[in-house]
Amino acid sequence: MNGQQLLYSLLTANGQGLQSAFVISKHKISKLQPTLPNEKDEHIQFQQNLQQDMKKIAKQPEVDLHLQLFLHMAEYFRLPVSHTTTNGELYELSEEIGNMFVAKYNELFSIARCHSLDDVLRHQIRLFIHLADSQYLIASKREQMLLQTALLTWIEQLPSLYQDRILELFSREVTQKAMEEVLQRQGIISFFKQLPPSAYDLLSSLLCAVMPLFVPMQHAPSLLVGFNAPLWTLASLESHEIVAKRKEAEPFLPLLATVVHLMWMCKLEHQDELLNYQSLLIKWSSVYHRYEDFQIKKEQAQFDVERLEGLIYNGEQDIKELKGIERQLTKKIDSLKESIRHQLNQMDLKTLNCGLVMKRMVQEHEALKEDVDELKRKLSIKGDIMERIRLTFRSAERIVKSKVKEVERKKILMQMTDFILANRLPICVDIQNEIEELQERLTSTLLKLNQHIELLDETKSSRGLTSGKLKRYEAEIKRLEKVYYGLAVRELEPIS
């Protein structure tokens, strides 16, 4: 029955009640521990922060919040949930969660002896009222009088059956003075004990009367637990039952506050509703299939990235090889061109009859050659010491001019070589044939090289796009695993 009660309380939660339960479940214990119970500003600040966090999830579908809360409970107890796909499995898992929750509660609260979630709720209300009794004793006179008045009003509004029970606590007529005596002698807890376990509407009105001891009552009674979660947590921590196990209890208390909040709302607002649990199963199935779909896409993207990496590696190796062939062919062609230039340098170029363009280049070459020879001749003139000293300054200038002329002459030879090759002039024909063959191979190599470079660029671009998809799939998988416990395969750890 604990599982059914847990599921019912969870799935009937909606609106602000559900949102606040979700936010509280994500809190660390540090956010649920007030400094002192009478710090009203601190409690008001908690409520404001809670509402701000609730706004962040206001547009989130309620069934999604139901699922995340349910999985969060399973996560605390390290229960596997991946195969929860039928009503029977859902009930079985929720029963396991509910029973483990009650067992954990009894382990921490030594004298609770709870058998059900209803018992846990009742025990938590008892602890809260004990906290209120302690707070009453240290409250100001004005606060005490306000509580006395509120309780007198509460008694007046009780059904006669329960009113008679309460009146037995008073030794004489019910007045504010008599109320003061009852509170001093027996406490608020005495009123609680007179109410039957199932009278949650009467308990609600009692708690609403008591709450101003701590903080103004500004919300619906059904939100009394959730919007004041730090006070309920403090009631647990202040209990003498838990003192020895405080550190062990702290990780459990946010979950406790969440479940008590859900139970309280259910008791006040939803006890007679009929529920269809399929919405939870449908949502979980949708999430699970979405997760599997991203896993498949991730695996395909990983395969594609690895395939593209292989193509890129092979492409880079092919380009490296083609560039090596290009360098070899270029080197051979340059060497053969040098052979032509060498032969031209040895020829009497004036005897060549190869058209006007070639004739002008020959004339320019011969003029430069004569200039170089003349400069060299002048540099080689010998004389006495004074003559050599006098010529030294001119020699430096002539050396520079000679080198410049020689460079220009070689450029002319290169131009002549290119002209001969371009126009297939009858000079060094065998060498030209060899160069032509090598040039064809070089052209073919360069064409292949450009094709490989283009293909490599396209492949790298595809790899970039596919890697981007892979990262997005991995990020979505991690997000789903973080949000929905049970998706990731993990080792189950002991319960903390």
Distance CA 2, CA 97 (A): 8
Quote the tokens at residue 148.
Answer: 């006395």
pTM (two decimals): 0.77
Q: Is the pLDDT of residue 36 over 80?
A: no
Q: Is the pLDDT of residue 227 over 90?
A: yes
Residues in the chain: 496
What is the number of alpha carbons within 13 Å of residue 98 lying toward its C-beta? 24
pLDDT tens per residue across span 98-118 = 999 999 999 998 788 899 999
Distance CA 464, CA 305 (A): 9
Contacts of 126 (CB under 8 A, 6+ apart): 189, 192
Contacts of 65 (CB under 8 A, 6+ apart): 18, 19, 22, 57
Instruction: Give residue 87's pLDDT band: very low, low, confident or very high (50, 70, 90).
Output: confident
pLDDT above 70 coverage of the chain, percent: 89
Residue type at position 200: Y
Q: Is the pLDDT of residue 495 over 50?
A: no
86, with CB counted inside 10 A (0-12, 13-18, 19+), is: exposed
Instruction: Give residue 492's pLDDT band: very low, low, confident or very high (50, 70, 90).
Output: very low
Residue type at position 290: R
Distance CA 417, CA 357 (A): 12
Which pLDDT score is estimated for 287? Answer: 93
The whole-chain average pLDDT of the chain stands at 87
Which pLDDT score is estimated for 382? Answer: 55
pLDDT above 90 coverage of the chain, percent: 59
Q: Is the pLDDT of residue 38 over 90?
A: no
pLDDT tens per residue across span 352-388 = 777 777 778 777 777 777 767 767 777 665 555 555 5
pLDDT tens per residue across span 235-245 = 998 888 776 67
Nearest to 73 by CA among 491, 496, 485, 492: 485
Which pLDDT score is estimated for 222? Answer: 94
Q: Are 365 and 471 in contact (CB under 8 A)?
A: no
Q: What are phi and psi of 79, to 5 degrees?
A: -95, 135
Instruction: Give residue 397's pLDDT band: very low, low, confident or very high (50, 70, 90).
Output: low
Chain centre to alpha carbon of residue 139: 48
